[in-house]
């Protein structure tokens, strides 16, 4: 099976299932920021009063528990590099640095963030297509663990930059699509961005051999991405196994020692109540068996397997908190309008999957009566819907609601300047304390950044 072709968005449940009570087969309690109506142990109204709404809140204790849970099932030859694209907030990245993680960065800005957060350059890998020369220069100067090469042209640009700096740069070659092993042969299958990422088999081998010949490049392994938000432990293990097989074949064919295999991220989280969480224990069993197999092979014995989780580590730790500004009945359906929407939480509109929404405060007429509610934002767009017919005790104007599982691909994936609403603060909570990570930004601030051309004044 090709992991690249997995469907990771399940069919949406009926609204009646959204807040159903305990039932047979229900997933276990989640490790998440919202517990007993509080956000990381903090009063939501207190946070809203201090930092304004809407706002993002991240529970760093949840992040710590996610890291510990994943580490507990990984064999010793596996390492973790946090994918900054999931959430590049400096305070969040610094917390992961404290926990000893490496980093996967995909731009010069992410590299600067990782370094400033305290992640050492020798445990940072740079990935991503379209690296500019200045970004490659920065990677070479920093002395990263590896730079993932996406094309023959990028390989030659990197070699020239490394030569000008008098450096020898470790490189990973990126496969265009997820590898799959068949009868001791390796072929590349699936569709990863319609050809945007990585190289095909012939270019991979040619690039690896070029790197072996170059005094300024050091091929050390292969990078291959499978799929996003995968909840199937077997599929993840299959992808990791096939990536190692492909890396072994490339190393043998090109003649370089295999030191690092980057299987990407893809570890998923359950966004909806009916979804089963990733089976970490089952994943750990499969990976332990693979690690034993690799340790008996002289080609793979010394190789390290790198995973790049982002969403799995920080997604459940985040909540987007907004206040209800209006409530109305439209054709008999309850609709509430918040002071925040998809300009801050784009994912529901982008991928067509709703997040869980919870009422955090309020004691009005609807406090004990659960009905289907459409939760929408303040934008002049029909796309600005955060949840459709979610079962809630009817929120009243002034009440707080939370959109959950937004610690990843929330603030960082937003389009905050659309319609010129305030940009929310980002706040971390840890051990019962709250700290501001990024301040709220009012429209006046970015108006001050702008200017009117002088010729306009002369008209």
pLDDT tens digits along 195-210: 789 999 899 999 999 9
What's the average model confidence in pLDDT over 260-272?
A: 94
> At residue 9, does pLDDT exceed 60?
no
State pLDDT tens for residues 209-254: 999 999 999 999 999 988 899 999 999 999 999 999 999 999 999 9
Q: Which residues in 272-330 belong to E strands, given as ranges?
A: 304-307, 318-330
What pLDDT does residue 459 have?
59
Helix (H) / strand (E) element for 65: namely: helix 60-73
Closest of 337, 294, 410, 304 to residue 81, by C-alpha: 304
Q: What is the pTM of this model?
A: 0.89
| Local confidence band at 354 (pLDDT 50, 70, 90 cut-offs) | confident
Q: Which CATH superfamily is domain 316-448 in?
A: Lyase, Ornithine Decarboxylase; Chain A, domain 1 (2.40.37.10)
The arrangement of secondary structure in 128-307, i.e. its CATH architecture, is Alpha-Beta Barrel (3.20)
Q: What mean pLDDT, rounded, does the chain reach?
A: 89
* Residue extents of the structural domains in the chain: 128-307, 316-448
State pLDDT tens for residues 412-437: 999 999 999 999 999 999 999 999 99
Distance from C-alpha of 88 to C-alpha of 84, rounded to nearest angstrom: 5
When mean pLDDT is compared across 124-133, 135-144, 294-303, 346-355, the lowest value belongs to 346-355
Closest of 252, 247, 228 to residue 290, by C-alpha: 247
> At residue 181, does pLDDT exceed 70?
no
Q: Which residues in 167-216 belong to E strands, given as ranges?
A: 169-174, 179-182, 185-188
DSSP string, 218-275: EEEEEE----SSB--HHHHHHHHHHHHHHHHHHHHHHT----EEE----B----STTS
> At residue 7, does pLDDT exceed 60?
no
Q: Do you find a cis peptide bond into 27, omega within 30 degrees of 0?
A: no
| Local confidence band at 367 (pLDDT 50, 70, 90 cut-offs) | low
Distance (Å) of CA 108 to CA 33, 263, 428? 31, 22, 25
């Amino acid at each position: 099976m090709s992991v690249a072709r997995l469907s990771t968005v399940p069919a949406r449940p009926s609204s009646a299932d959204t807040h159903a009570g305990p039932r047979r087969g229900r997933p276990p309690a989640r490790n998440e920021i919202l517990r007993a109506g509080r956000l990381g142990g903090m009063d939501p109204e207190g946070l809203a009063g201090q930092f304004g709404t809407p706002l993002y809140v991240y529970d760093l204790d949840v992040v710590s528990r996610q890291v510990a849970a994943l580490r507990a099932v990984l064999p010793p030859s596996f390492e973790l590099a946090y994918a900054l694209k999931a959430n590049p907030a400096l305070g969040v990245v610094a917390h992961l640095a404290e926990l000893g993680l490496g980093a996967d960065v995909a731009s010069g800005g992410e590299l600067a963030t990782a370094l400033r957060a305290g992640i050492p350059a020798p445990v940072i890998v740079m990935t991503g297509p379209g690296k500019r020369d200045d970004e490659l220069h920065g990677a070479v100067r920093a002395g990263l663990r590896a730079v993932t090469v996406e094309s023959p042209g990028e390989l030659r640009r990197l070699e020239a930059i490394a030569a000008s700096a008098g450096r020898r740069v470790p490189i990973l070659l990126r496969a265009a699509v997820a590898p799959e092993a068949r009868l001791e042969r390796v072929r590349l299958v699936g569709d990863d961005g319609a050809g945007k990422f990585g190289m095909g088999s012939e270019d991979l081998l040619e690039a690896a051999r070029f790197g072996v010949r170059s005094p300024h490049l050091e091929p050390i392994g292969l990078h291959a991405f499978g799929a996003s938000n995968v909840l199937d432990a077997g599929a993840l293990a299959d992808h990791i196994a096939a990536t190692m097989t492909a890396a072994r074949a490339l190393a043998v064919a090109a003649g370089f020692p295999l030191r690092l295999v980057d299987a990407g991220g893809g570890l998923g989280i359950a966004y909806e109540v009916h979804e089963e969480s990733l089976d970490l224990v089952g994943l750990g069993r499969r990976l332990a068996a693979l690690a034993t197999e690799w340790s008996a092979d002289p080609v793979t014995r010394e190789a390290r397997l790198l995973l790049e989780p982002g969403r799995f580590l920080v997604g459940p730790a985040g909540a987007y908190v907004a206040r209800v500004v209006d409530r109305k009945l439209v054709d008999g359906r309850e609709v509430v309008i918040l002071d925040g929407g998809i300009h801050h939480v784009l994912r529901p509109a982008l991928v067509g999957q709703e997040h869980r929404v919870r009422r955090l405060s309020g004691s009005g007429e609807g406090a004990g009566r659960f009905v289907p509610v459409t939760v929408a934002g303040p934008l002049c767009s029909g796309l600005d819907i955060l949840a459709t017919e979610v079962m809630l005790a009817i929120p009243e104007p002034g009440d707080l609601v939370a959109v959950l599982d937004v610690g990843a691909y929330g603030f960082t994936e937003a389009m905050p300047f659309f319609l010129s609403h305030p940009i929310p603060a980002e706040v971390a909570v840890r051990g019962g304390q709250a700290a501001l990570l990024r301040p709220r930004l009012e429209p006046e601030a970015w108006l001050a950044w702008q200017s009117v051309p002088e010729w306009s004044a002369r008209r």
